[in-house]
Amino acid sequence: MWNEILNDLWRVYRGRLLGSVFGLFIGAMFLILGFLQTIFLLICISAGFFIGNKIDKKEDLLEWLDRLLPPGYHK
């Protein structure tokens, strides 16, 4: 019975639940680490997620670097 209730709550309110947990996590990080360290941590996590997403999709990272950096920068 509880499993059905939790599944229904997850299906209907997934975004709200994930947003609330994420907000709680970020709030705790602000309290523990401070503002700038938390922002740095979020930037590092976002960069890791972005690079991992590119690798999962089998996209070429060097091609992406060619578009991002000046010509001939990484060679």
Ordered by start, the domain boundaries in the chain are 1-29, 34-75
Q: What is the pLDDT of residue 55?
A: 84
Tokens representing residue 74 in the block: 């990484």
Measured N-to-C along each axis, helices 61-68 and 35-56 cross at an angle, to the nearest 10 degrees, of 130
The residue count of the chain comes to 75
Q: What is the pLDDT of residue 75?
A: 56
The DSSP code for 73 is: S
Would you say 29 and 38 are in contact if contact means Cβ atoms under 8 Å apart? yes
In 1-75, the DSSP E strands lie at none
Per-residue pLDDT of the chain (75 residues; tens, 9 = 90+): 889 998 998 899 888 988 899 999 999 999 999 999 999 999 999 988 888 888 888 888 778 777 877 776 655
